Chains A and B, each alone.
Chain A
Amino acid sequence: MINKDISIDFLGVHFENPFCLSSSPVDNCYEMCAKAFDEGWGGIVFKTIGPEDFEVDEVSPRFDELTKEATPFVAFKNMEQIAEHPLKQNLADLKKLKENYPDKVVIASIMGPTEKDWEELARLVTEAGADMIEMNLSCPQMTSHAMGSDVGSNPPLVKKYCEAVKRGSDLPMMAKMTPNITDMVPAAKAALAGGADGIATINTVKSIANVDLEKKTALPIVNGKSSVSGLSGKAVKPIALRFIQQLRVASGLEQLPISGIGGIETWEDAVEFILMGSTTLQVTTAVMQYGYRIVEDMKNGLMHYMEEQGVEHLSELVGLANKNIVPAEDLDRDYKMYPEIDWDKCIGCGRCFISCYDGAHQAISWDEKTRRPSIDTSKCVGCHLCALVCPVHAIHPGKIVMKEGRKGDPSKIDVVSQRLY
């Protein structure tokens, strides 16, 4: 089995691998974190610790899932709040984790309703031996509006609370941002101005995943009612990647240290977040669905990828994609590329014909006798919807032509993805 160094330094802390559990139900006590470490996770962000007097009172049931056809957990909706164990026990768990797993990274996630609470919690988790602090400024389902995503979307409050944490602790600190905001840059800049050393993002996306057609409320049904709460899992990955990209290209934030979160399940997802500028990665939903064991294939796949790419240190990959994602107005619009059908693969289902007619430009015609499509280049705009819907991946990038009156060399245009089908 391949064995490669996938360690990385983040905010001055050494991670044996970039894979961490995010602050959530998956790392709610010592035993859970210990099992996760034993199965190979590099770090944990312990479930958010609140002030002693904040009573966590949960609903039942508290989760829901979005499905599509036969696929479960396309997205996951969660109404659980922060750690329900007493403050003392949470602190004792942090201490014991650090004692028993000195080479693993223990990150304390904290949250409070006042500056005093933030400062005090920061001091307590530092005394307990945490390696790093994450400020939870982003939980969308708190029963107190003085905590959670309402705070994270208010930059002055973010700055004030970051300053409070920095007064309570000299540990490296990241502020966890909410995606329930149009532009994350002002909140991130406020956090940095308040002393944050890095950003963790995204937290969950406010959502209603399903509505019960008889009870006329959302799922899960809590004694006849429901609430908006946070959505996570694969479906939020695109949202997470866009926020991370926009942070990393914002003026002054080009080197922003980021812990990436949002729908990471596979080593490929992990690499995507790293290429987009994440140094460490945090995972919850896939662990809730499949267990801690998923880290084995994430680590192994990442090692193979580094080997293929000839990369010795994981840090070399961080942010490599940022420069290749540009404003829409800067993209090359001088050419179009026609799709090409691989007749050895085509099974004659006609899905390309339907989608091209109903969703694109009526450029595919259908021979009823032979049950085969053909592409009319006079109508085809090169959108490649047909390639996406083809169930056997028989439609590939084909001939590239320059648009009329445009200059350029079609042979030098790069459009081919290496993704394996």
Chain B
Amino acid sequence: MTKKYETETPGYTMTTVMEEAARCLLCHDAPCSAACPAHTDPAKFIRSVRFRNVKGAAETIRENNALGAICARVCPTEKYCELACSRSGIDVPIDIGGIQRYVTDFEQADDMHILHAGDSNGMHIAIIGSGPAGLQAATTLLEKGYSVDIYEKNAKAGGYLTYGIPEYRLPSNIVDYEIKRITDMGANIHFNTIIGKDMTMDQLKAENDAVIVAIGASEAKMLPMFENNDAVETAVSFLARTKQAKGNIDLPDNALVIGGGDVAMDVVTTLKKLGVEHVTDAVYEQFDEFRASKKELAGAEREGVTIIDGYVPDSVNGHTVTLKHRHINSEMTIEADTIILAIGQETNAKNLGIKLEHGEAPSAGYKTHDPKVFITGDIAQGDKTVVYAVQKGKEVAGEIDSILGGNRDDQ
């Protein structure tokens, strides 16, 4: 069954991508481009495809988004570019993510090298965390001539891209290729290195002109009633070990998943694709207030997941969970081999000297009380999607450059 887990849906060919691009209305002042948080400029790259300039399309995507092939696959486009698409006035929006995937696949197949490191300006930046925000910040800084060292606590780079999003939605080779582009530009990644343990923050600050904290919300939340229960696993743990094992894991016959975000959808869809017969998802929200993207929800439903909306766990006894509806008088008991919690994640910023409230910096922007330390990614205020992480990565790099670049001119 791992084949279903490992296989992406087929992409476009030149003929079919042209059919899709031909649906694009090539709008004036295109709303899709205005709606992309990372300014990937879909209107421009779709126009390039339309005029058979796929290489030019790849340049537009890559120059605006160092993780263009990843965003093509995982971006909740229904909330951004495709929501804004004028074509909706006729029928359905353009499949912008699909077109972007065709273009970035072409870029990879053609081995294009679009981004290049700038001439060295002699300055060094340390980045803590190699998730999407850290990777984009590294890229933008490398282009501007900084040298970049990334400190990653895990054995592989990519953060949630590598350890979270399932293979059928984001193949590891795509993530690895995106990261290779960035290391080829000169980013130096130090694996298995925890700042505050293996190295100190003071050490980083002494050795670099600036430090960016780009850590993500990588630690799973737990509900007290599920603590110390052998039947319980967190979504973070389940998704990470499944992806690392390429789907070759021991499977339950019957799984109960708690949670209704995209992470929960990833868990239930993964379980189904791997062949688990009974997968039940209990979701706090009712369908009309669902948090998961429509695409991921539809994917879960297609696989045959049973979704119980509006129910919260009330008590648990070993493998048996009692759920109660939030509004009506209704209760059900489900016995499952495995209970997986997908109820959110939090950030561990211990020993970094960063003040966070509810996992976020207390004020907007990328500066901290320490003029040498900046934040980005999940801990900076704003949406927690990959595409927002890309934009936050670009912005923190721009802010650092405007500060350090200013110093450079003074010297």
Contacts and interface: CB of A to CB of B under 8 A. Distances in A.
A300 interface: yes
Nearest to B59: A1
B143 to A, nearest CB: 13
Contacts of B63: 1
Interface string A365-409: 000000000000000000000000001110000000000000000
A297 interface: yes
Contact-residue size bin, chain A (C-beta under 8 Å from the other chain): 20 to 34
A297 B13 contact: no
Interface stretch (A144-152, A178-186, A264-272): A264-272
A290 B51 CA distance: 11
B53 interface: yes
A301 B53 contact: yes
A2 interface: yes
8 closest cross-chain pairs (CB), A and B: A301-B53, A300-B56, A297-B53, A297-B51, A304-B55, A266-B51, A420-B14, A266-B52
A313 interface: no
Interface string B36-75: 0000000000011001111110010001000000000000
Contacts of B13: 392-393, 421
A298 interface: yes
Contact of A293 (B47, B52, B53, B59): B47
B9 interface: no
Contacts of B47: 293, 297
Nearest to A72: B22
A372 B56 CA distance: 38
Contacts of A2: 55, 59
Nearest to B114: A1
A266 B51 CA distance: 5
Contacts of B53: 266-267, 297, 300-301, 304
Where chain B touches its partner, the secondary structure class is helix
Nearest to A304: B55
A294 interface: yes
Given A300-B59, A304-B56, A267 B14 contact: no
A23 B55 CA distance: 31
Contact of B51 (A71, A298, A304): A298
Interface in B163-197: none
B15 interface: yes
Interface in A300-325: 300-301, 304
B292 interface: no
B52 A268 contact: yes
A267 B59 contact: no
A306 B354 CA distance: 51
Given A300-B53, A420-B14, A420-B52, 8 more contacts: A1-B59, A71-B22, A267-B51, A300-B48, A301-B51, A301-B55, A304-B55, A393-B15
A301 B52 contact: yes
Contact of A265 (B14, B51, B54): B51
A421 B14 contact: yes
Interface of B: 13-15, 22, 26, 47-48, 51-56, 59, 63
Interface string A245-262: 000000000000000000
Task: Indicate the member of B26, B56, B63 with the most A CB atoms within 10 Å.
Answer: B56
B56 A301 contact: yes
Contacts of B14: 420-421
A47 B227 CA distance: 79
Nearest to A290: B26
Contacts of B55: 2, 300-301, 304
Contacts of A70: 22
A392 B15 contact: yes
A298 B55 CA distance: 12
B94 to A, nearest CB: 15
Contacts of A420: 14, 52, 54
Contacts of B22: 70-71
A135 B47 CA distance: 34
Nearest to A390: B15
Nearest to B58: A304
B47 to A, nearest CB: 7
Given A1-B63, A265-B51, A267-B51, A297 B56 contact: yes
Given A266-B53, A267-B53, A304-B53, A297 B59 contact: no
A265 B51 CA distance: 7
A87 to B, nearest CB: 33
A298 B47 CA distance: 11
16 contacts: A1-B59, A70-B22, A71-B22, A266-B51, A267-B53, A290-B26, A293-B47, A297-B47, A297-B51, A298-B51, A301-B52, A301-B55, A301-B56, A392-B13, A420-B52, A421-B13
Contacts of A1: 56, 59, 63
A421 B59 CA distance: 20
Interface string A271-304: 0000000000000000000100110111011001
A310 to B, nearest CB: 16
A393 B52 CA distance: 17
A129 to B, nearest CB: 33
